[in-house]
Amino acid sequence: MRVRFWGTRGSIPVALTSADIRDKVAEALFRAEGRRFESVGEAHDFAAKHLDFALTHTFGGHSPCVEIETGIQEYLVCDMGSGARPFGAHVLARQSGKPATVNVFMSHVHWDHIMGFPFFGPAYVPGTHIRIHGCHEVIEQAFRLQQAPPCFPVEFSQLTADIEFVKLTPGRAHEISGVQVTPTPQMHSGESYGYRFAAGGKVVVYTTDSEHKLENRAQTERFVRFFHGADLVVFDAMYSLADAISVKADWGHSSNIIGVELCQMARVKHLVLFHHEPAYDDAAIEGVLRETRRFEELTRGTQALRISAAYDGLEIDV
């Protein structure tokens, strides 16, 4: 499987400002310390080898949209945040005019997870099949509402793709396009659902907008079972632990610390920090990643846990 991240930011999309770009360029020039580069390629190599990721890249600002490629013709994607717009462009380019079949898995219908759908190009292509899977009763209502006047100029009924809403049962493994998909309920305002995708002996778990109450041992054990042995877990690590259990308790999100602990207990191979706090700049997210890796080192048992921070455009082969 290949997991491709189109949107990784939580709550609301963000963008780098012109001042952010200026500061990155200035800092990069400063760090170059007067070096001469014979070509752009040489400068590129220097940046890649010697400068921080947060200086030479950006984690990006699209809200959640994560594609899971399984080698079959159909597309699988989690959530339709603003990252659905570039994902849609990718689908159109890859299809070269042929209608696609896209399976969407909705964690929930808060705005940051549905806002990309009106800009999802394949929805405007006749013959395209879009199956929107989820466990909530209100998914179709939410998708139609956000395109109803006066919020959007194109009503849902005007979309020319064949769009179907498919209700899934939490806790049950569903066979969808050759992939075994199991949803599980999560703690979030209005409830959310995580998904465990299993295919070809590999397992990817997508678990965002999910709060974990430390005092609830039964819930912890349920998630350890849900994550168990996964090759990759995409985890809501929006807040620090201190915030998640104090001023932002009951806001429906989790922390890097809880992500590491759950993945260690579940013997997960790779944890991806996801649903980044929109107030964080690139340096702050890179700092969280560095600290999370250090926390894993401090608490490591017999198995090392690989840790990454998701960014728009990241691809991970599982």
Partner 1 sequence: MPLAHYLYDNALVLGPTGRLDHDNCETFREELAPHLARSAKDGTSIVLDLSGLEYVSSAGLRCFMLAAKQAKAQNSRIVIAAMQPVVAEIFQIARFNLVFEAFPKVRDALAALSPAAAAAFDRG
Tell me which residues touch partner 1 (CB under 8 A): 214-215, 217, 220, 240-243, 245-246, 255-258, 261, 291-292, 294-295, 298-299
Closest distance of CB 7 from partner 1, Å: 26
89 vs 284, which CB is nearer to partner 1? 284
213 vs 269, which CB is nearer to partner 1? 213
**Residue 178 and residue 191: Cα distance in Å, rounded?**
27
Q: What are the distances in angstroms from CA 19 to CA 24, 25, 284?
A: 9, 10, 16
**Residue 262 and residue 223: Cα distance in Å, rounded?**
7
Nearest alpha-carbon partner for 303 in 257, 270, 256: 270
Listing DSSP states for 73-105 in one string gives SSEEEE--STTHHHHHHHHHHHHTTSPPEEEEE
Closest distance of CB 270 from partner 1, Å: 19
Report which secondary-structure segment, H or E, holds 316.
strand 315-317
Contact (Cβ atoms closer than 8 angstroms) between residue 212 and residue 227: no
40 vs 247, which CB is nearer to partner 1? 247
Closest distance of CB 239 from partner 1, Å: 9
Closest distance of CB 195 from partner 1, Å: 24
**Residue 125 and residue 162: Cα distance in Å, rounded?**
9
Closest distance of CB 304 from partner 1, Å: 17
**Residue 166 and residue 198: Cα distance in Å, rounded?**
19
82 vs 264, which CB is nearer to partner 1? 264
Closest distance of CB 255 from partner 1, Å: 8
93 vs 298, which CB is nearer to partner 1? 298
199 vs 244, which CB is nearer to partner 1? 244
Closest distance of CB 289 from partner 1, Å: 11
Nearest alpha-carbon partner for 210 in 222, 194, 195: 194
**Residue 53 and residue 69: Cα distance in Å, rounded?**
25
**Residue 282 and residue 303: Cα distance in Å, rounded?**
29
31 vs 228, which CB is nearer to partner 1? 228
